[in-house]
Amino acid sequence: MPEDEIRVRFAPSPTGLLHVGSARTALFNFLYAKKYGGKLVLRIEDTDKARSKEEFELNIMDGLSWLGLGWDEGPETPNLFGPYRQSERLGIYKKYADQLLSSGLAYNCFCTEEELEAERKAQETTHQAPKYSGRCRNLKPEEIKKFEKAGRKPAIRFKVEETKKISFKDLIHGKMEFDPTLFGDFIIVKSNGDPIFLFAGVIDDALMKISHVIRGEDHISNTPKQLLLISALNFPIPEYAHLPMILNPDRSKLSKRKNPTSLSKDFKDQGYLPEAMINFLALLGWSAKTEKNIFDLDDLVSEFDLHDVGKSPAIFDQKKLDFLNGYYIRHLQIGELAKRSLPYLEKSGLVKKENEQVLKAISLVQERMKKLSEAPDLTSFFFQKPKYEPQLLIAKNSEKDTTLKALRISLAALEREADFGRDSTEQLLRAVAAKNQIEAGKILWATRVALSGKVASPGVFELLEVLGKKESLERIKSAIDMLK
């Protein structure tokens, strides 16, 4: 492996469904790796045994695959720099924890949760910054034996000896500086033997030869502690880039309890296209040097630069996502759109398999569709007789008798018509409206609703052409019977 090879990682915890914010992080890592011919590593940080589940790991992988974000190394390639699941690397973390203990850079802490909570409350009372007091830092052998005899399981804390400020240059935020005296000695291994993520992450990044750590801004506060660990373990320091937070339009925090945030449940399953999601996620914090806003994945690889990622929070604009999704739907080949809409049509019970009827129906509504999940509602009239209230047939500023007359005129004219092409039926219905001195709009509205049963639908001439003469006449007759 070349010494200067770009190696980035996406390291999610499988404790829930893939979040759109995490998907944005994965995308930016992917773009950076591909831009410079590097490698993207997928690492599963599953040391939280209680909350980590295989179903969430699969959901993460499925989400990345759906977006088209392939990884170069991961759980399926353990012979490279693996294993890539942290739960399979516990022996590695123990080795480095023991190294820090034996060198005096870390120590066993026997404090209980109750003792630590009391300490925190006392600090709050005196308006001190909450940090560990160091009470276990210099325990005598007899004190350690006493704790062990009492059955206390120690956590391992790292000694923070630095008196000078810790600084690093973030590729997005510039120079960052922290005072280590504010956070005190911190835990690196819990009392149950599990490493905390910032300790395990430092070791994994070093052993997996990660050159750039690109992650969310919420991890900035972890970086100084990780830099101390890197120095203590004599590891190379990677470059850091912290991506801006994603906020709602009202600048509140994007919350999975209040907002649609699950890539699979709230976006994929609801009929958003991966092309639209990729385009949308890329614009959450990144600004292209060009003025265009439509990018496919290849465009993004070519255009992307971390220096164009902003420091300010990115705003999750649902309207922009809907616009992009509608744009990509309108630009799909009709066969491809029908194929992608089919699962929604099948689930609704409208169709059982793809056929020519599906193509015709989808072709009628492509311009109006914003999400694939809208396909059943937009096309239901095509696969089954419409159900609606008779009042819907009456156009604005019209009456029941006028509407009934309009439908009868339309039916009579269409019964005599052989060519049900769009142009032919338009000429026919406009001509009979003029001949019978009825506003064309009143005939066209009533006929269109008779065919579709909807306030908004494709135009009457398109409906006549796609439904065909037999079905169209049957629906108009049914409408007339409803109004009698």
Mean pLDDT of the chain: 93
Q: Is residue 97 part of a domain?
A: yes
> Nearest to residue 196, comparing CAs of 86, 285, 321, 318?
86
Give the containing element (helix H, strand E) for 35: helix 20-35
Q: Please check the confidence at residue 54 and state whether its pLDDT lies above 80.
A: yes
> Nearest to residue 216, comparing CAs of 39, 44, 12, 22?
22
C-alpha 76/C-alpha 13 separation (Å) is: 17
User: Among 210, 243, 276, where does a domain finish?
Assistant: 243
Please check whether residue 371 is in contact with residue 325, taking contact to mean a CB–CB distance below 8 angstroms.
yes
* Residue 65 neighbours by CB under 8 Å, 6+ apart: none
Q: Catalytic residue at 256?
A: yes
Number of structural domains (the chain) is 2
Q: Please check the confidence at residue 3 and state whether its pLDDT lies above 70.
A: no
Q: Please check the confidence at residue 2 and state whether its pLDDT lies above 70.
A: no
- Catalytic choice (190, 209, 256, 477): 256
**Strand 239-243 versus strand 212-216 pairing type:** parallel
- What confidence category does residue 1 fall into, taking pLDDT thresholds of 50, 70 and 90? low
- What confidence category does residue 302 fall into, taking pLDDT thresholds of 50, 70 and 90? very high
- What confidence category does residue 257 fall into, taking pLDDT thresholds of 50, 70 and 90? low
**Strand 186-189 versus strand 155-158 pairing type:** antiparallel
pLDDT of 133-186, one tens digit each?
A: 899 999 999 999 999 999 999 999 999 987 789 999 999 999 999 999 888 899
The domain spanning residue 94 has which CATH number?
3.40.50.620
User: Among 185, 209, 243, where does a domain finish?
Assistant: 243
Please check whether residue 111 is in contact with residue 136, taking contact to mean a CB–CB distance below 8 angstroms.
yes
Q: Is residue 467 part of a domain?
A: yes
**DSSP string spanning 84-139?**
-BGGG-HHHHHHHHHHHHHTTSEEEE---HHHHHHHHHHHHHTTPPP----TTTT-
Q: Is residue 184 part of a domain?
A: yes
User: Residue 195 gets which letter from DSSP?
Assistant: B
Give the pLDDT confidence score for residue 74 in this predicted structure.
96
Q: Tell me phi and psi for residue 15, to 5 degrees.
A: -110, 5
pLDDT of 313-333, one tens digit each?
A: 999 999 999 999 999 999 999
CA–centroid distance for 336 within its chain: 23
Host domain of residue 132:
89-243
pTM over 0.75: yes
User: Among 203, 223, 243, where does a domain finish?
Assistant: 243
- Please report, as a single letter, which amino acid is at residue 379: T
Tokens of 177: 């500086």
- What confidence category does residue 88 fall into, taking pLDDT thresholds of 50, 70 and 90? very high
Residue 214, classed as helix, strand or coil, is strand
Q: Tell me phi and psi for residue 262, to 5 degrees.
A: -80, 125
pLDDT of 184-238, one tens digit each?
A: 899 999 999 999 999 999 999 999 999 999 999 999 999 999 999 999 999 999 9
C-alpha 76/C-alpha 459 separation (Å) is: 52
The domain spanning residue 445 has which CATH number?
1.10.10.350
- What confidence category does residue 345 fall into, taking pLDDT thresholds of 50, 70 and 90? very high
Q: Please check the confidence at residue 296 and state whether its pLDDT lies above 70.
A: yes
Q: Please check the confidence at residue 240 and state whether its pLDDT lies above 80.
A: yes
